[in-house]
Amino acid sequence: MILRLTLSILVVSLAPSAWAQEDSALSLHLSDMLKSTLMDKIAGAEIRIPSLTKLCGQAPLSDYHSVTKARLVEDRPNGVALFEITGLGMDGIEKSDLIQTPYSAWRRVMMPTHRIYPNTKLKNEDFRTSEVNVATGSAREYRGVMVSAGIDFTGLQSKQTLLENQFVVTTAIEKQPDLHKGDLVRLDLISGDLTLSTQATASETGSVGDRIRVMTAKSKKEVVGVIREDHSVEVSL
């Protein structure tokens, strides 16, 4: 009788511990699965999710033996993600349910150390690296066009004002043009094997390979040509 009572007490005392270990294993596995799913949607971000241990201990997850698949149903603006999970229930039958969890998505981005005005030549020392949560707020709206950490600003310029300690978007910077509007250029007019060179004035800004309008110096005739590596403009007749 005493032995039977001792065994009963031992089973009762061990059971909660075993359940806790199973819940912990399920929560860790599920957390990794949900993070991976969100990383597929938000490239380059470090996904952080609160502990799912409590969630795994409640219905419907408490009825799951294992979770085999997770699909993102909705990525809400308030930093909450809704998933459809699929797995095996305690009865061994496959089942699916909807669950949700808050999350944060941190991306390493570039921020100016001071205000930079339009058409300013950019330097790497003008920027610092910072982490931004792109799961909510304005960062969420622009997360697809943020300038990521590690970019080389050499040869780039600002297209608009860049504010101090604000993330930079790709549409706010551009390659420095090779020719500016008003620059004097050599214009090569090419017809077969014949080349006629003259001076012209750029009517618009552009980079090597771009087609731009130029105004010939003598005849004041506007033509369209391609900017070459030596910053001359070629027009094929």
Last residue of a domain, one of 56, 84, 102: 102
State whether 131 and 156 are in the same domain.
yes
- The two three-digit tokens of residue 145, written as one number: 């066009």
State whether 96 and 122 are in the same domain.
no
What's 212's domain CATH number? 2.30.30.760
Q: What is the pTM of this model?
A: 0.72
Q: What is the pLDDT of residue 102?
A: 97
> What integer best gives the mean pLDDT of the chain?
88
Q: What is the pLDDT of residue 105?
A: 97
Closest CA to 89 of 60, 69, 57: 60
Q: What is the pLDDT of residue 64?
A: 93
Backbone φ, ψ for residue 141 (5° rounding): -65, -30
Backbone φ, ψ for residue 28 (5° rounding): -65, -45
State whether 86 and 114 are in the same domain.
no
State whether 112 and 96 are in the same domain.
no
CA dihedral 215, 221, 222, 224 (to 10 degrees): -100
How confident is the chain (237 residues) per 10-residue block, as mean pLDDT? 37 37 76 96 94 90 93 96 96 96 97 96 96 96 94 94 96 91 92 89 90 90 92 90
State whether 158 and 83 are in the same domain.
no
Q: What is the pLDDT of residue 237?
A: 82
State whether 162 and 226 are in the same domain.
no
Domain that holds residue 190: 184-236
Q: What is the pLDDT of residue 9?
A: 34
Query: In the chain, how many domains are there?
Result: 3
State whether 14 and 92 are in the same domain.
yes
- Burial of 158 per CB tally in 10 Å (0-12, 13-18, 19+): buried
Q: What is the pLDDT of residue 201?
A: 93
Q: What is the pLDDT of residue 219?
A: 86
